[in-house]
Chains A and B, each alone.
Chain A
Amino acid sequence: MTNRRNVLLGLVLLAAVAAPVFGQLKLNGAGATFPYVIYSKWFDVYHTKTGIEFNYQSIGSGGGIKQVMEGTVDFGATDGPMTDDQLTEAAQKQGTDVLHIPTVMGAVVATYNLAEAGNNLRLTPEVLAGIFLGDITKWNDAKIAEINPGKSLPDRTIIVAHRSDGSGTTYIFVDYLTKVSKVWAEKVGKGTSVNWPVGLGGKGNEGVSGLVKQSEGSIGYVELAYAVKNNLPYALLKNISGNYVNASLEAVSAAAASSAGSLPEDLRVSITNAGGKDAYPISGFTWLLVYKAMKDKEKAGAMVKFLHWAMSDGQSYAKELYYAPLPKDVVKLCERKINSIVVK
């Protein structure tokens, strides 16, 4: 009895001593909710492959940025790039630059509830901005009728639905409206929450889609992945080349491909309203935020290896989870960024 207890005690002690030595490397991260599905897939696959563990908390882009600035995580994630001020502050606090590494892409679609119009309602940037500014208030407005020949549009009030919580989805959507409408840029601007001229607020994608599903004559915006998974109808949107584009993963990748030539050095860029004839205009990157100089050598090595893996094998998981993979040209730029990570 005593013997067995001693053995047990010995084992416990051994485990306690050995844990730090054989313990698996663990990297902590926090941030955006939008890429959570693919990140958890990646971290899971990568863990079984290499034994390196990632702990990711999807607390929202804003929270991710905050934690990266405070240095409480090894990496962060965001749907809207950090501002110049935030980067400077982070550099001061952490003594190193923060890098933006695009991982996958997503899109935001305008989902609507208008039985008479059926699927494939067409919208132009002007009309979309007009609706969300409250200038266009009826579905049978001449501006909507003009671009939707053959559709019977009812004399019904348009009910606008938007996100009430701060969100990267909102950021991409209003970033687009800011680019296509001067009035929007002056009156509202862009941010993760804005002062909406009209409409009802719902919490989360599910809140907005709940509002839209329940209210006849409503229009709102949700992530493409969410709309596809839940079979929501969404509008075709006219892009800068004049084509009405259906939001699809290919159209999103096309938006990035057409912007690849003009991406800035730090990859901190919005690709909404991108050129290219097949490009869907409300597309955007989601980024991982990593420190350029990492303190821990092992962690730095693991991070770099993981990022390379995410750029190559990792991309193949994107489509099945309704994310658009990065085009090859963008991957090349990312690889260069990843290689610049050093140990402090």
Chain B
Amino acid sequence: MGFKDRIDCYSGSKTIACLSVFVLICLFVSSCASDIANRYYGNTRYPPKQPNQVEILRECPTRPYDVIADFQSRGETPEDMRRKAAEIGADAVIVATLGGLYSHGEEWAGSDSLSHTYTRITGTAIKYRN
């Protein structure tokens, strides 16, 4: 193998290595949270809590409460919403997973076989009134 062949081989390996790193970076970035948009209401600040002290709700509670913040993002989970709510001292977070895939085979509006998919997650952090 001549010098030029070795250079070409080295250059080809380097290209493949660079492409591999690029693909890995793309995979890493695509799995991270994105389009994060949070809102905090009011001026009162509460001490942080442990995440396990914060309830995850799928519906609004029946007892009176105040909304203290809204979280919204892509690529996150209900646990991420709970962690954010704990950081601002919320009692509970009302989570909704929004959007996602919808199968072309569906015939009924009330039936969504791909309801486990979602493109965005929202969390409404609340404090119960005493």
Genuine A/B complex: no
Q: Which A positions have Cβ atoms within 8 angstroms of B?
A: none
